[in-house]
Structure 1
Amino acid sequence: MKAFIGKHISEVRMIRVLVTDLGNVILRYDGAAGLARIQAKSGVQNAAEIFSKLIAELGYGKGQTESKAFFRRVKEELRLQMSFEEFCTAWSDVFEEDWDVINLLLQARVEKRYILSNTNDIHWTWIQQRHSKMLSLFDGAVVSHQCGAEKPDPAAYQQIVALSQRRPDEHLFIDDLPENVEGARQFGFDAILHTDLASLRAALSERNLI
């Protein structure tokens, strides 16, 4: 594998591990559609705002609240007319595999490929059930509700290093959020802000990974 020579000629990286986010990288994510379904069954007008605050307050993305307990609180606060199963479907049926991106990442000349995602138990259960073929193409996944840390917390990136057993500078991280990309760089990863397929292809090519 060729070393990646960055903008500064003295900086040489050997990328051995590719790490990708889920939502809006390998899975298209339409969060607004899920929130609209929840709003339609809610007895309050600002359901989306309250819902987002509850996720943070209850630490749901870090696994600090069990799913049915989370739902009970959401149902109460939003005056929600939905069963737990209906809620899970309404909130989770928002993902679509992006095979152009997935296939591009599979072409990368690396030793391992991992997923690092800020998610939650309900979404992750849905993804595992409906996107298992796609998940099987990766060597592993670190998800926030299981490891207790959300990007850009350094602890999230450390989980990947523990899994890969490689130095931070041997990792390339891809995410659609600038703060997560910056967090990865601060941790020592190389990182790409994902915006579109052509830019991603160019960034991988610059690093001699495809």
Structure 2
Amino acid sequence: MNVYDAVLCDFDGVIRHYDAAGLVELERSYGIAEGTTVKVALAPGLLTPVTQGQITVEQWRDSIVEGLARLLGSPERAAALGDAFARARAQLDEEVLGLLRRAQERVPVVLVTNATFQLEDDLRALGLARFFDEVVNSARVGAVKPERRIYEIAAERAGADAVRCLFVDDREENVEAARALGMTGVLYREAADLREALAPLLEGDRGAVLP
């Protein structure tokens, strides 16, 4: 019998990572603190509406530029930063994907992410459209992590009780919310965290043993 009946996994910060070097370079040239653009973009007041499906990605990006313009006093620089943010290149962690593929041979793997209506297009572009057994996108279901409902939806779609789910996320508040429902929560920092968490599930899998 498997130690888990499902693996629920976050996307950005675990599977997908952005290269913000160009954005950081532009921020430096403008004399503002590194990470300012991301801080504005991910502020709850701007991020929550788009991840709840209340506004479009385009409207979200416009709100980022408006927020930066108020901060910098320069619409032109704000627009340039907003464009650099939108164009940041994404990379997939192949080691994480490999671990999830092996887990998927034993239990369902469900993507659980605070995302926009663009997520499905992103998954297709990245070659992941058919990778996950289910995708729980906050913009589609109208609930965001760490709200209880999104975890319940994920467990339901996996066909598993919450107490039999492994949940992986790079944000502590999201992990704590999963644990409150009885899930096994793993705060992700590097691939080794996922390897360790999946080891009981992959016991007997030759690939699970580190050299």
TM-score by length of 2: 0.73
Equivalent positions of 1:2-151 (< 5 A) are 2-4=1-3, 15-30=4-19, 32-33=20-21, 36=24, 47-53=37-43, 55-56=45-46, 59-79=49-69, 80-81=75-76, 90-91=85-86, 93-108=88-103, 109-122=105-118, 124=119, 127-131=122-126, 133-151=127-145
- Mark the CA change 1:38 to 1:171 in structure 2 (over 3 Å): closer, same or farther: farther
Q: How many residues align?
A: 195
Residues 66 and 167 of structure 1: CA distance in aligned 2, closer, same or farther (over 3 Å) = same
Per-residue deviation, 1:97: 0.8
Of 153, 159, 162, 1:159 maps to 153
Corresponding residue number in structure 2 for 1:11: none
Note the aligned Cα RMSD (angstroms): 3.4
Q: Which amino acid in 2 is paired with 1:158?
A: E
When the two structures are superposed, what TM-score results if normalisation uses the length of structure 1?
0.73
Aligned residue type for 2:141: C
One-letter identity of the residue aligned with 2:115: T
Aligned to 1:206, the other structure's residue is in SS state coil
Q: Is the 8 A contact 2:166 2:186 kept in 1?
A: yes
Cα gap change, 1:34 to 1:151, in 2 (>3 Å): farther
Which stretches of structure 1, 4 residues or more, deviate above 6 A after TM superposition? Answer: none
What is the aligned partner in structure 2 of residue 12 from structure 1? none
Q: In 2, are the aligned partners of 1:34 and 1:92 still within 8 Å (CA)?
A: no
Contact 1:115-1:142 within 8 A present in 2 as well: yes
AA in 2 matched with 1:118? N
Aligned residue among 153, 156, 164 for 1:170: 164
Could you tell me which runs of 5 or more consecutive residues in structure 2 were left unpaired when the two chains were aligned: 70-74, 206-211
1:179 counterpart = 2:173: yes
Judge which range, 155-164 or 32-41, deviates more.
32-41
How much does 1:169 deviate? 1.7
2: CA distance between counterparts of 1:38 and 1:156? 36
- Deviation of residue 72 (structure 1)? 3.6
Contact 2:11 2:113 in 1 (8 A): yes
> Which letter maps to 2:98?
N
CA distance in 2, matches of 1:38, 1:203: 38
Partner Cα separation in structure 2 for residue 144 and residue 34 of structure 1: 28
1:121 is paired with a residue of what secondary structure?
coil
Kindly indicate whether the alpha-carbon contact (under 8 Å) linking 1:34 and 1:91 is maintained by their aligned counterparts in 2.
no
Displacement after TM superposition at 1:78 (Å): 3.1
* Identity of matched residues, %: 23
Q: CA deviation at 1:17?
A: 1.2
